[in-house]
Chains A and B, each alone.
Chain A
Amino acid sequence: EDQVTQSPEALRLQEGESSSLNCSYTVSGLRGLFWYRQDPGKGPEFLFTLYSAGEEKEKERLKATLTKKESFLHITAPKPEDSATYLCAVQARGNQFYFGTGTSLTVIP
């Protein structure tokens, strides 16, 4: 069964305190792994796509990595404006997308 699990469910960081979010997946025929940011009351906003193990993508304070079974979203020296829910999704063979339940990140000034 195709499945995406994110951990932790919630994370509180002090401003400047780096950390990582985890997305583990089991899927038949991974076509892509996606990271999104979602602010309260808004639709998810695309961050990264990763296609193969070993691939890395960076954007400002965020860096996404991919292995054969999981992906990490590393947040370096976070700021309060990085507070949001971060969603992971996988695209399986057959073109369906499966989302995790997200990690709610709060960065305290």
Chain B
Amino acid sequence: DADVTQTPRNRITKTGKRIMLECSQTKGHDRMYWYRQDPGLGLRLIYYSFDVKDINKGEISDGYSVSRQAQAKFSLSLESAIPNQTALYFCATSDLSLETQYFGPGTRLLVL
């Protein structure tokens, strides 16, 4: 079984809809991250969490919110989706001591 899972893997939605992307991990890591990847722009950090009670904004948090429901679960919400949020979204985890990030398989989101 994969250590970091993301659901759904693909999603098509319409402008203005609220959607949630979910991430679960079995690595036992405290730190979790959400990134988006766009062609030519690379991976950009949206939010990160160092434990259940610690949530931090990343480089591009506007239009997004997150929830850390448990050590193993970190969800990303788009409150009112817009077309320029069409992207590939990745969840990642890291160990407190090593800082190496382990990525999930990604969610491909299309906002029409």
Contacts and interface: CB of A to CB of B under 8 A. Distances in A.
Interface string B58-75: 110000000000000000
Interface residues of B, number: 25
Contacts of B43: 44, 87, 89, 99
Contacts, number: 54
Interface string A86-106: 010101000111111110000
A69 interface: no
A43 interface: yes
A97 B105 contact: no
Interface residues of A, number: 23
Contact of B99 (A32, A42, A87, A99): A32
B42 A43 contact: no
A43 B104 contact: yes
B101 A46 contact: yes
Contacts of B100: 34, 46, 49
A45 interface: yes
A100 B99 contact: no
A31 interface: yes
B106 A43 contact: yes
A45 B101 CA distance: 9
A99 B44 contact: yes
Interface in B64-97: 90, 92
B99 to A, nearest CB: 6
A87 B37 CA distance: 12
A100 B42 contact: yes
Contacts of A44: 43, 90, 101, 103
B40 A101 contact: yes
Contacts of A4: 42
A101 B58 contact: no
